[in-house]
Amino acid sequence: MISTQDRCDAVTLIDEAVKKGARLFRACAELRLCTRTYRRWTGLNGEVKGDARPAAIRPTPANALSEAERQRLVAIASQPEFASLPPSQIVPTLADRGEYLASESSFYRVLKAHNLQHHRGRARAPSTSEPRRHSARGPGQVWVWDITWLPGPVAGTYYYLYLMLDLFSRKVVGWEVHDEESAEHASQVIRKASLAEGRSLAPLVLHSDNGSPMKGATMLTTLQKLGIAPSFSRPGVSDDNAQAEAFFRTLKYHPGYPGKGFKTLEAVRAWVLKFVRWYNTEHRHSALKFVTPAQRHEGADIAVLVARKALYEKAKAANPGRWRGTTRNWDRPATVWLNPVRQEDRKLKKAA
């Protein structure tokens, strides 16, 4: 619902644009409005109207519960017998006794109106937990890792790809393929990745899901020795490790991916080695302004993006009529977030 003041501001901006020669529908489109909305707001005399819905008189449905019925419903739901039961249990119980007061939805609606719709019983009320959020302003600060299945030569057999990815650059910093899942294999991958990246004991966060190889004693001990802080996704949440999942999608939808499975462990290792080299050095990543992970990891993307920006500015100067606004944004992303706060979450927090 848009306030009257916001409507007035929008109409003023649109009117100013029209006076300067803009078409009405284009001026409205800039504010994501349609011309019908603009005309409905302004009316015939041009005066901005407020939203009449909050003050509208709505008729009471003929089949609505009376006040006496609502009070009886609240009284029954508050009895010791039903105090710990939800309406989904109360309504059938009353029905077995030959009594019908209202539907389950009506029970829920009336209890909510009287501030009685709370968690009932001794079980812990369900809670919504915030995901782990980490930010990286350079390589070697946050890594994400996961394990995925790669099909074997026979249906139902799989090989397991252990993968570690740098959050800032999306570079694959460590990987191995084995024929089983274990915390021991995972600890080997993190040790080799740490040596390959030369990180010594620099602070590092390693994020993963809640699988047994991720939380195994061998893996956790290795992280402690290497000075790595573990971070885990929420249980049962599939998108808390989105960067790793996105990599697996890129891998499995690559044109060269063998859909019929890999014949041997050596064959799958050779294929993944070739893919990782392509991904790190040739694949232009959409989240990195279309530079390769290796360029981003080494800092070479700075010069690449500056050159692209200069090229676009030159092209605009040569043919300004082809550009309605600014050129494409080639600014380098300075910070990368794991599970960033979404715009919808910000709005909900402000409303609360």
Residue 348: its pLDDT value, please?
A: 43
Domain boundaries, the chain: 4-42, 67-113, 134-283
Residue 218, CA distances (Å) to 79, 145, 186, 202, 215 in order: 54, 16, 9, 21, 8
Task: Report the candidate in 83, 33, 275 with the shortest Cα–Cα distance to residue 163.
Answer: 275
* Residue 282, CA atoms < 13 Å, CB-side half-sphere: 5
Give me the residues of the chain with pLDDT under 70, please: 44, 119-129, 342-352
Kindly report the CATH number that applies to the domain delimited by 134-283: 3.30.420.10
Q: What is the pLDDT, as a whole number, of residue 253?
A: 93
Strands (E), 167-262: 172-178, 204-208, 228-232
pLDDT digits (tens, 9 = 90+) for 212-224: 889 899 999 999 9
pLDDT score recorded for residue 48: 83
| Per-residue pLDDT, 351 | 45
Q: What is the pTM of this model?
A: 0.65
Token representation of residue 137: 């302003």
